A = this chain, B = another copy of it.
Amino acid sequence: MEDKKMTIDDIARALGVSKTTVSRAMSGKGRIGEATRKKVLDYIAEHNYSPNVIAKGLAQSKTYNIGMVLPGDYHIAELPFFQKCMLGISREAAAAGYDVLVSMVTREDISQLERAVANRKTDGVILTRTMVDDAPVKLLKDSGVPFVAVGSTEDDAVVQIDNDHLNACKELTAGILAQGFRKIALIGGDMNLMVTGMRLRGFKTALADINGRAGGGGPDSPRPDTRPVKDDCIWLGVEDSGAVEKIIGQLLAAGTECIVCMDDYLCGLVLNALQQRQVAVPEQVKVASFYDSTLLADRMIPVTSIRFDVEELGRKACRQLLRMMDGEEVERRTLLGYEVCMRRSTE
């Protein structure tokens, strides 16, 4: 415990060198004799000294903290995502000598983030979720603090890094359509989440593609016959079992062959509703979901799903931020891959 209060000055005195020398030995910056260097490092190791990062930071005008904005009111379906993402961020930060400061925000209250920014407690900030019309994004833009958003934003001046939800959803949908199904429905949650919109676009693109309109044909490309996406197959803003029950009733009556769910919680509700009506999956209806989280780990049938590497997403976001803090130019938008896992539920 004694060593906890040891200072660079103590070391300098004990070794008969200057503080400058000790500092240089540790940082590796500046010229220093190999023998001196070793002497200092040995002493440090032996006495289990570690420098006061706060003081170091002050001298360098750095905090060695990165801020992480975490929603305090998110839905249980998102929890596994945040857990992994946090883990990735904190591991990468630790590897670079940084600690992670959390600011929990809700839709009504972003005061924790305001404090962290005003108090200059962080060298940069990572947003772990993006919303339509996102208050934290605005705050951070105004503050001038370097930040990256995990997720997509409307403002493309913002550095953002995201799973490729659009193409993931498109490929998943296309995969199902490729099996010959045409009556396909989409159920999604909170429309204020950017991710909901991205998936919706992926879904629509897949439908449009199979209808013969290969995406983004130029103005002079032939205008083929198209079957427009039917609105009654897309349900967004769905939150609870009551809503799901009702929707399932309508979908079954309409002869829906496959239901794509935007998250594993909704998918759980859908499976419950189907089970209660004695509708067999996949024999009578196919079901697919996103995230591949433990939320569905123990269902009777394995559910077709997208798999993302969320810890890696967190790590990449952190690395990106560290580069920005070093003044490097970084790409505005980074999209990470995904894996479509076809399973029993859509066979």
Contacts and interface: CB of A to CB of B under 8 A. Distances in A.
Interface of A: 1, 4, 50-55, 57-58, 63, 65, 68, 70, 72, 74-76, 79-80, 83, 86-87, 90-91, 94, 99-104, 111-112, 115-116, 118-121, 142-144, 240-241, 244, 268-269, 272, 275-276, 293-295, 297-300
* Copies of this chain in its oligomeric complex: 2
A50 B114 CA distance: 11
A51 B120 CA distance: 9
B50 A241 contact: no
Given A54-B120, A58-B55, A298 B240 contact: yes
Contact of A276 (B119, B121, B300): B300
Given A57-B54, A272-B298, A298-B272, A94 B112 contact: yes
A294 B76 contact: yes
Contact of A83 (B4, B72, B119): B72
B119 A90 contact: no
Contacts of A55: 58
A222 to B, nearest CB: 48
Contacts of A119: 50-53, 99
A53 B120 contact: yes
Given A58-B55, A76-B79, A120-B4, A269 B240 contact: no
B121 A54 contact: yes
A102 B100 contact: yes
A227 to B, nearest CB: 34
A52 B120 contact: yes
19 contacts: A1-B144, A54-B57, A54-B58, A65-B101, A72-B83, A76-B80, A86-B104, A90-B112, A94-B111, A94-B112, A99-B103, A99-B116, A99-B119, A100-B102, A240-B298, A241-B298, A269-B298, A272-B300, A276-B300
B94 A115 contact: yes
Contacts of A240: 297-298
A340 to B, nearest CB: 23
A119 B87 CA distance: 20
Residue among A102, A118, A269 with the most chain B CB within 10 A?
A102
B101 A101 contact: yes
A4 B122 CA distance: 13
Given A1-B144, A54-B121, A298-B241, A79 B83 contact: yes
Contacts of A87: 72, 104
Contacts of A295: 76
Given A80-B76, A120-B53, A144-B4, A100 B101 contact: yes
Contacts of A79: 76, 79-80, 83
A28 to B, nearest CB: 18
Contacts of A121: 53-54, 99
A103 B99 CA distance: 8
Given A55-B58, A72-B83, A102-B102, 10 more contacts: A1-B142, A1-B144, A4-B143, A50-B119, A54-B121, A76-B79, A91-B104, A99-B116, A99-B121, A275-B275
